[in-house]
Chains A and B, each alone.
Chain A
Amino acid sequence: MTRAIPLLIFGTILMLAVGCTPDHLMSTFDPVGPVAAEQKKVWDYVFWAMVFVFVTVLPALLYMCIKFRRKEGDPIPAQVHGNRNLEILWTVLPIVVLAVAAVPTLNVLRFVLEPPANSIQVNVTGHQWWWEFEYPELGVKTANELYVPVGHPVQFNLMSKDVIHSFWVPKLGGKMDAIPTRTNVMWYQADVVSPEEGFYGQCMEFCGTSHANMKLRVHAVDSDEFDQWVEDQTEPGPEAEELSELAAQGKDHFENLDFKATYTDGSVSQQRCAYCHTVAGLGISGARTGPNLTHLASRGTLLSAMVDNTSENLADWLENPQVMKPGSRMPNPELSDEQTAALVAYLQSLK
């Protein structure tokens, strides 16, 4: 029993040392903006209060087990039924402590839930299993990877196309659910430039088969780079003349090729890429069933930040979406190798 104490302490220190590693990609111990920072302050406050209770109550319990352990011939202890003052004390004391703790909690609550008025607006729509992003003021429509300017608040208006999702980028702050029938509001602000692959985020409300694969990235960049990004993103997709022969063929497939689409529920129909995916500037445009692909090649990742954006991954994906992302709503297009190669060349030209 006594050996348990050092073990317990050692274990706790070890866990703290290894666990609170802020360099981990989704660590909540590494806030990079005011929302996450305020939340961490509240956490720190509660954490030390918890540590205090832990190191007083548990050793006391252990001490009693050792000190008052029954020995041969011990007399029967005094039959104490209670002590009114003591009972009042340990009812009132926690109330006072909790009342004190409630003040910063509620203050921060207001701060994190209510976006500043000058925020950049981003409409976020959750889909099984990807994120649709729209900057209504800037005319940008994209998916799965966001850009935000450093030092500027961004307001997210969360919606859902199907089931409930939840939007979370731990280094920027807490999460909020995206629920069909409502628009929830939250905000983040990044105060540092993100690493090249962006800050990691993930869907946090269980949303079906590929819930685990519904991720996202947020790139925090300085304002010049952000303006440049906005400018690039508002460009339409390339014309056929600007493309290589193969890519131009891919563009034609994207718009005009009827393929046999097999869905996860076994249903089959004739589909075209452009029926579900938008590339701005094409004849058919405005589809929102699948991610907007107008600037797919400018993104670092594919399949809601599941894999790196490479031609090989794109080709594997088109081969059979179900293999890479179980349950995916994208039907199996059953393309020939030539068609796949042309489409990959086209999609990789969408800078």
Chain B
Amino acid sequence: MFEKLKSNLKKKRVNLKIKTLLFGNNVREGVVIKIIIYLLLSAIGFIYLYPVLYMLSNSFKSPSDIVNPMVNWIPTALYFGNYQRAFRVLNYFSTLGKSLLVTLVPAFFQTAVTSVIGYGFARFNFKFKKPLFVIVLLTFIIPPQAYLIPRYVMFFELNLLEKPWAIILPALFGQGLNSAIFILIFYQFFRMIPRSLTEAAEIDGAGPYYIFFRIAVPLSAPAYITSFLFSLVWYWNETYISSLFLGTRFPNLQIALANFVSQYQQMYQSDAVKLNEGIRLSATLLIILPMLFVYFALQRWFVEGIERTGITGE
């Protein structure tokens, strides 16, 4: 009888152990739950990346692979013909240069200028500071359509249309793409710098500009890097304003992609190879390639940047 009880107890304990291992307890998570999480993340991750994988796979397919129903993900041979054509139709390097001009330069100015503005709001108490800051935040939600037409007319009269200045100038005055977000990022970041630090410098006779350039800016390198990268990516992917202001006379890569089909038909009018998805997707991949490089080289600045800049607020 005693033996039976003992073995029963043992069984129960083993059962409990297995249960804990699988489903976890108060202290640790079980294996089953872990596996479910991994499965979910991998499955959703795959679906999420499906367009990119599809693009990659098809861009290397020869015309015969594309129509062959037996070829699914992996092409029978790596075929670079699509890229050759896409390269020529996009006029890649020249267009890339234009793209870089209208992304790097405004991103640089936007980061620099919004940091100055953010610092002003974070450090000084001036008249109308609160209402002005509310207006800064409001500019984020006002749809650009409400002011783009007169801006277009203004740039037309100043003879700035179809020139990179049409994109750079607003950035230079803190009115670039999503400027409000960057002002907010810098505002949050500069507020985290301890007051005692700047006060000590003030006592030593440092002026406000000296403190900004010599103390605040060097301490805020992460905010600068994150802001610059976000600004870069947003300018790179923005097409509504750039196609309006730059038009087809100053085509960047995005505009070139939007006009890809007609451009292709013009260049390869009498060609045997009709425009197929392989060519179109290789062109698409060429457009995103530069930013993919930037992302994989500096991805931690993107994904950690959002937390570090404290945009989620307190």
A, B co-complexed:
no
> Which residues of B pack against A, CB within 8 Å?
none
